[in-house]
Copies of this chain bind each other. A is one copy, B any other.
Amino acid sequence: MVNYEAQLDATFTALSHQARRCILARLGQGEATVGELAKPLEMSLPAVTKHLKVLEKARLISRSKDAQWRPCRLEEAPLNAASGWIEAQRLLWESRLDRLETYLNRLEEEGSHDK
């Protein structure tokens, strides 16, 4: 459970910067090198490398150890866990609203019987 929460901390931290979200969106189209990732961001290679380290630490990307250019690739699992957490909140919230609606309808019905 601690690991699950620590992973969510790391995933949401990684997602909290526009440049890192751009990198993830680009990697969703396929592997890319640091140079390819830097181009549309108009950033220096060291700046991109810094963001890649955050993404790698959060396990949102992995980097090939063999290839000379060490291309980056997206890892889907932590993103799915993060979206799963938000989705679970939504389901709880909606079921609460449904219960509230049922309760209000019942009150209204009882009120009309009393008249």
Please give the count of copies of this chain that the complex contains: 2
A residues with CB within 8 A of B: 5, 8-10, 12-13, 15-18, 21, 24-25, 28-30, 74, 76, 79-80, 82-83, 85-87, 89-90, 92-93, 96
Main secondary structure of the interface of A (DSSP, over half): helix
Can you name the residue of chain B whose Cβ is closest to the Cβ of A22? B5
- A5 vs chain B, min Cβ distance (A): 5
9 CB-based A-B contacts, threshold 8 Å: A5-B18, A8-B21, A9-B16, A13-B13, A24-B89, A25-B89, A28-B93, A79-B90, A83-B90
Note all chain B residues with C-beta closer than 8 A to A29. 92, 96
Cα distance, A13 to B17, chains bound together (Å) = 9
A16 touches B17 (CB 8 A): no
Q: Which residue among A28, A29, A92 has the maximum number of chain B CB atoms within 10 Å of its CB?
A: A28
